[in-house]
Amino acid sequence: MTDTYVYAFADAAEVPRELLGGKGAGLADMTRLGLPVPDGFTITTAACVHAMHSGGDWPDGLAAQIDSALAALEQRCGRRLGDDAAPLLVSVRSGAAVSMPGMMETILNLGLNDAAAHALAEETGDARFAYDSYRRLLQMFGEVVAGVGAHVFEHALTRRKAEQGVKLDTGLSGDDLRGLCTEFKRLYAEGSGTEFPQDPREQLRLAISAVFRSWGAPRAHVYRRANDISDDLGTAANICQMVFGNRGEGSGTGVCFSRDPATGEHVLYGEFLQNAQGEDVVAGIRTPEPIERMRELLPGAYEELVATVERLEKHHREVQDIEFTVEQGRLYMLQTRTAKRTAQAALKIVREFVAEGVITPDEAVLRIDPAQLDQLLHPRLDASVEAEPIARGLGASPGAAVGAAVFDADTAAARGAAGEAVVLVRWETTPDDIHGLIQAQGVVTSHGGMTSHAAVVARGMGKPCVAGVESAQIDEAARTLTVGDVVVREGDMITIDGAAGTLMLGALPLVAAELGEDFAAIAAWADERRRLRVRANADTPEDARRARELGAEGIGLCRTEHMFMAAERLPVVREMILATQDAKREAALAQLLPMQQSDFEAIFAAMAGLPVTVRLLDPPLHEFLPDRTALAVELAQTEPSPERARLERLADRVRQLSEQNPMLGTRGCRLALLHPGIYAMQVRAIVRGALAAAGRGEAAQIEIMIPLVAYAEELRRMRELVEEVIAEELESAGRELEISIGTMIELPRAALRAAEIAEYADFFSFGTNDLTQTTLGFSRDDAESAFLATYLEAGVIERNPFASIDMDGVGELVRIGAERGRAARPGLKLGICGEHGGDPASVAFFHGAGLDYVSCSPFRVPIARLAAARAALGATGERR
Ligand code: ADP
Ligand code: MG
Ligand code: MG
């Protein structure tokens, strides 16, 4: 028996979404609810996956199953594909399990050919409508199936409109459009070397294959990379009877949301275009009108739409993004899906859903994508600065962006990737601009509305967007944006405010955003649910305070090297490093002691009542010395003198200390075993700082952390040293203080020998940045600038291991280290510090590995709090 690949909408309610895709599942669901959905059937993602792996060949039985589903559809509709009296027209629509708006292909009006177009004109008495539909098919089919560039058709259409002296496509007559169809067929044949297939079954077969192929289109690939969606899922293909929004004034098409996707406000929000078909709304061909206009134009359909939208939201218990068409006054629902929205909107909506009793707080926590919270921390315009906008459009995605204006996606991608802030300026974006959007700070379009491509994608990515700035002339070729007599050229700095919908000249100052009340409410639910504690990596009192405001429950990593780098300290640090006699070195260290002490004191005070893990000096000493080449140059220019002698000594020492592989060299505890005085000084400073802060009632719980331990013996010796100094200090102060001593686990050997190491450690903190480098044997900088992009692109690995923990490899070491450490010392405190602490997928992993806390950079603390709660509620970090 062959597998089932085809399901009629009416029979598909129980079929899993992975097979039907989101669109197919939505259509099946709406059909079951008895909503007005055009009839049709879905070909599953499994068929696409099969085709993908066999050079485009369909699985056995698929063609026959399509034939019989089509025959049944023809029966139900009383129309036949290619019939010369009552032709059935269908759309062939892509639709993956995870929504990828606009990334794949859809073909409308399939089934038309010369004879059927004639028949349709006769049947409806409307030649304009029939040939308008046909020219759309020729264009879409030409583009999607035969690879003829859209512009070829667009130019012909534009020329014809000019010839007829009409501005809009709706101004063309039936005759004009029939002529245009003839021209389109010629352009099709010239562009592809084949004739447009007149046989509708051939059209269908080719269209289905093309939809399957569109899963592999470059832009779809880029989108999946950016959204962490697997390449293996495939798309479904939905065959759906056509309904026509292009049948005159009583018809139209639109998109709406059950709540405002930018702010979350509970209002019907959307756009509508009279006498138009499908793509016209999103493609920005004509600027659509706000949905309220439909109330006047088509009151009956509007009322039904409002009721249906409410019903769909209730049914799905989620904000819906809906496509609909009105054909001669009758409403049809074409798609419903969970709406992409800004983080701000998501929080507001979820909170209101809880208040309305629609969802529980658990569900609320699971509904928020932690990675999206990042957006809330995006800067806003500084309200105290007055700047006159040069133009206004629609505030399509909130937040402010500053950057150099660029006029095409390739430039945005290149300059953005090189680290420059750019704002992409387009007439309207298309799915092919996705790589540029990813790299841009924000986007401006002169065309298109709130549901245009740019607006939808920007909201999904949390980037500011100002859409439909109609007063701006954008000339892509000349790379200019002109408003009146103001000209913005490529590279000129501009600022956009995606909430107000304004465009300003120059780089205006931005201020940090606030998380707001909705976040506070949801974070409170998250905090009640999570088991993992969340700390921050902070090296300064300011960072510590910021982290606390964002909900950090301590510092998981306080690095001390920057304390050595400050301009006024560097000379002393160098003296300490260069000293050849112990006495000189001691003197330099004694000078550093009070400086370090005050650093610690301020940080401990900022974290009063909470744990602070201080890592003793980690980097190799030559990082504090001048560059070797620079020194050589300076030497060459210096006459013999005492100064020259000093420079020579310095150069010698730099040569001595320099290493082939500093990352694998004399750092961490290795350094301290050679020069114990440095750690001794740091510990003294820590104890004194802690006592001083405690004296003012600002005691933190101090944890001293030894970096880069590979052997238990290293830690045993370090612990002895640290304990000795602590005891000395406490004795001379006549005070008491609990200080715990632990180590970083950042070398594979340390993870493997965790049992022995635990004997000398009160806690472990997995340093996952170094552990990733040392496990994989490549340095982050070298990997990211050389081969990592290729690895990701070619699918050698799925995720950047420095951004999201390599669960199978590095993660395995974390698990081993945790298990062996705890087995040897029950109650051993376990945490991680490193960027992975703020990555939701990694946080879920650490929750599963049984760690006590994660520590990440301050601005990722809110993300980690939510991710930890979601993990406790069962969310995993596995990719979709
Ligand atoms: P996308 O995933 O890019 O939105 P769709 O498959 O939803 O692609 O279709 C593109 C456009 O065509 C949408 O506006 C949709 O509403 C419209 N459309 C699709 N199928 C039909 C149909 N059977 N009748 C009328 N319009 C349709
Ligand atoms: Mg759609
Ligand atoms: Mg390290």
Q: What are the residue numbers of the active site?
A: 453, 833
| 284 has a pLDDT exceeding 60 | no
pLDDT of residue 235: 97
Average pLDDT of the chain is 93
Token pair 């589903």 is found at 69
**Axis-axis angle for helices 712-733, 676-695 (nearest 10):** 40
Beta bridge partners, 489, equal: 480
Ligand 1 atom 14: residue of nearest CA: 278
Specify whether the CB–CB gap between 600 and 699 falls below 8 A: no
- Bridge-based pairing state of the strands 701-706 and 739-745: parallel
pLDDT band for position 824 (cuts 50, 70, 90): very high
Ligand 1 center to residue 350 CA distance, Å?
28
Q: For residues 488-517, give the mean pLDDT.
A: 91
CB of 694 within 6 A of ligand 1: the answer is no
pLDDT higher than 80, residue 96? yes
Q: What are phi and psi of 508, to 5 degrees?
A: -85, 150
| 406-432 burial code (b ≥16 CB/10 A, e <16) | bbbbebbbbbbeeeebbbbbbbbbbbe
Q: Which of 378, 374, 369 is nearest to 349 (CA)?
A: 369
pLDDT digits (tens, 9 = 90+) for 332-373: 999 999 998 888 899 999 999 999 999 999 999 999 999 888
Residue 650 DSSP code: H
| pLDDT one-digit tens code per residue, 568-616 | 888 898 888 888 888 999 999 999 999 999 999 999 999 999 999 999 9
Helices (H), 658-711: 669-674, 676-695
E strands present in 178-319: 235-241, 252-257, 269-274, 289-290
Give me ligand 3 centre to Cα 539, in Å: 15
Whole-number Å distance between alpha carbons of 380 and 395: 13
- DSSP percent split of the chain into helix, strand, coil, nearest 5: 50, 15, 35
Q: Identify residue 708 by its one-letter amino acid code.
A: L
Residue 733 or residue 657, greater confidence: 733
Answer whether residue 835 shows pLDDT above 90.
Answer: no
Q: Is pLDDT at 85 greater than 70 in this prediction?
A: yes
Alpha helix (H) residue ranges in 228-298: 280-283, 292-297
Ligand 3 centroid to residue 126 C-alpha, Å: 74
What is the rounded average pLDDT of the residues 258-267? Answer: 93
Q: Whose CA is nearest to atom 24 of ligand 1?
A: 242
3-state secondary structure of 691: helix
In this predicted structure, the answer to whether residue 639 has a pLDDT above a threshold of 90 is no
Confidence band of 879 (pLDDT split at 50, 70, 90): low
Nearest CA to ligand 1 atom 23: 242
- Beta bridge partners, 236, equal 95
| 490 close to ligand 1 (CB < 6 Angstrom) | no
For residue 556, pLDDT beyond 80: yes
pLDDT of amino acid 285: 63
Mean pLDDT value of segment 303-325:
96
Query: SS3 of 701, please?
Result: strand
Q: Please check the confidence at residue 328 and state whether its pLDDT lies above 70.
A: yes
What's the confidence (pLDDT) of residue 324?
Answer: 97
CB atoms within 10 A of CB 644: 14
235 touches ligand 1 (CB under 6 Å): no
- Please tell me the predicted confidence (pLDDT) of residue 148: 95
Q: 831 alpha carbon to ligand 3 midpoint, in Å? A: 14
What pLDDT is stored for residue 291 in this prediction?
94
Q: Which residue has the higher pLDDT, 846 or 461?
A: 846
Q: Assign 841 a pLDDT band (cuts: 50, 70, 90).
A: very high
pLDDT in the model for residue 801: 94
| Whether the CB of 278 sits within 6 Å of ligand 1 | yes
pLDDT at 840 over 80: yes
Domains of the chain: residue spans and CATH? 6-248 (3.30.1490.20), 249-341 (3.30.470.20), 379-511 (3.50.30.10), 530-620+659-872 (3.20.20.60)
- Residue bearing the bigger pLDDT, 263 or 525: 525
Closest atom of ligand 1 to 94 CA is 6
What is the side-by-side strand order in the sheet with 235-241?
A: 6-8, 40-43, 235-241, 90-96, 106-110
pLDDT digits (tens, 9 = 90+) for 679-692: 999 999 999 999 99
pLDDT > 90: what percent of the chain?
75
Rounded to the nearest angstrom, the gap between the alpha carbon of residue 194 and the centroid of all alpha carbons in its chain is 41
Kindly write down the DSSP assignment for every residue of 384-442, as one continuous string.
Answer: TS----SEE-EEEE-SEEEEEEE-SHHHHHHHHHTT--EEEEESS--GGGHHHHHH-SE
Q: Which two tokens stand for residue 788?
A: 């990592």
180 CA to centre of ligand 1 in angstroms: 23
- Give the pLDDT score at 622: 82
Confidence class for position 325, pLDDT limits 50, 70, 90? very high
Minimum CA distance residue for ligand 1 atom 3: 102
**Which pLDDT belongs to residue 178?**
97
288 lines ligand 1 (CB under 6 A): no
* Span 35-45, pLDDT tens digits: 999 999 999 99
- Hey, CA dihedral for 357, 361, 366, 369, is it positive or negative? positive
118-137: per-residue pLDDT in tens?
A: 999 999 999 999 999 999 99
Q: What is the pLDDT of residue 880?
A: 52
Residue 877 has pLDDT above 70, yes or no: no
Provide CB contacts within 8 A for 431, sequence distance 6+.
102, 103, 219, 223, 453
What is the phi/psi pair of residue 767, to 5°? Answer: -90, 90
Test site for ligand 1: of 73, 79, 91, 432, most ligand atoms within 8 A of the Cβ: 91
Both tokens assigned to 322:
């809906």
**Nearest Cα to Cα of residue 543 among 861, 76, 792:** 861
106 CB near ligand 1 (under 6 Å): yes
pLDDT over 60 at 837, yes or no: yes
pLDDT at site 457: 82
The per-residue pLDDT for 385 is 79
Res 565: pLDDT: 80
Q: Is the CB of 242 under 6 A from ligand 1?
A: yes
Instruction: For residues 334 and 325, give the distance between their C-alpha atoms in angstroms, rounded to a whole number.
Output: 7
**Per-residue pLDDT for 377 more than 80?**
no
Distance (Å, rounded) from C-alpha 467 to C-alpha 447? 7
Going by alpha carbons, the residue nearest to atom 20 of ligand 1 is 91
pLDDT of residue 68: 97
Rounded to the nearest angstrom, the distance between the alpha carbon of 341 and the centre of ligand 2 is 16
What is the average pLDDT across 409-421? Answer: 94
- Residue 647, pLDDT score: 85
Ligand 1 atom at shortest distance from the alpha carbon of 104: 3
Cβ(334) to ligand 1 under 6 A?
A: yes
Structure tokens at 743: 């180590």
Query: Mean of the pLDDT values across residues 58-77?
Result: 97
Whole-prediction pTM value?
0.80
3-state secondary structure 106-149: EEEEECCCHHHHHHHHHHHCCHHHHHHHHHHHHHHHHHHCCCCC
Strand partners, 423: 405, 442
User: pLDDT grade, residue 168 (50/70/90)?
Assistant: confident
